[in-house]
Amino acid sequence: MQSESIQAKIVRECIRMAAGNRLIGPKIKTGQLQRQLLEKEPRWKEPDDMTWERMDLSHFAVEVLTPDTLGKYALMQLHGGGYVNPLRNVYRNFAKKYAGMCEGIKVFSVDYRVAPEHTHPAALLDVVDAYKMILEQGYSGDEIFVAGDSAGGGLAVALCMWLREHNLPLPAKLVLMSPWLDMTASGESYEENFDKDPMFGGTKESMIYRGDYLGDYSPEEPYLSPLFGDFTDMPPMLIQVGEIEMLRSDGERAAEKAKEVGSEAKLQVYQGMFHVFQMGTEQIPESARAWEEIQCFLENE
């Protein structure tokens, strides 16, 4: 087993110190600080060889990143943030990486409605409408990828369940980074990694347990916790999780459920890694390797 990099160890400890800080730690774990800092983010600058535009729809927005050289695929990106944080620059950087794959992918990043202002099923309805919009632009289901991290990973799976149940075309593939698939927190890693997870560990006063997005619904509702749903006929999925994150078992159990009913799932567990470590992009070797795996997965016919 490959040992974790020095860069990963440094970032992990920085996260641990920030999330464990008496003053800002609680705000990080609930997502409050990230939301406050959003207003101070600089305007994102798209690469010279790509066009970036924001489309305001009825209840939400979609940001479209189009490379000058365009292949046949579109990708819908569903950002994380515990259903309480909107789209941030880090996900625009994710979109840039996706856009460079498969000879040029048109990337649709959905800035769906979030809690506490908007509870379930607001985010799912927005994602469904965004997917329909991509279909209306002339893409077929087998020309669309869906990628999501954390809450966005849960939304990606919930979307596919909704599409299947409403007889609409499913996407070609799913990329799931640290997907949040169980709002009941019933997996083994929630306890096993409770004191190891640098972001969410050590407390139950975090977005994992608060239920800000639930509204009047049960956390066992499959559109909220897809692990309680049916994984039959799901698209092939790549699932990447960190070894020490509390949500690790969500991805592991999803891979098991998919394989049990004949769906294709590739699970990758990264040693010593934390929640959505792919945000390290090229700065952390494990993150760079994860992105290489994502590109290989999407480009492999």
Active site (catalytic) residues: 150, 245, 275
- Where b means 16+ CB within 10 Å and e means fewer, 24-38 reads ebebbbbbebbbeee
3-state secondary structure 254-294: HHHHHHHCCCCEEEEEECCCCCCHHHHHHHCHHHHHHHHHH
239 pairs with which residues across the strands?
A: 176, 267
Sorted by sequence, the CB contacts under 8 Å of residue 229 that are 6+ apart come out as: 157, 158, 161, 222, 223
Please count the other Cβ atoms lying within 10 Å of the Cβ belonging to residue 301.
4
- Where b means 16+ CB within 10 Å and e means fewer, 94-125 reads bbbbbbbbbebbbbbbbbbbbbeebbbbbbbb
Half-sphere exposure of 256 (CA within 13 A, CB side): 9
Contact present, 247 and 239 (Cβ < 8 Å): no
DSSP state of 143: G
Q: Is 211 exposed, middle or buried (0-12, 13-18, 19+ CB in 10 A)?
A: middle
Q: What is the CA radius of gyration of the chain?
A: 18
Contact present, 205 and 29 (Cβ < 8 Å): yes
**CA dist., res. 73 & res. 141, Å (int):** 10
Contact present, 18 and 297 (Cβ < 8 Å): no
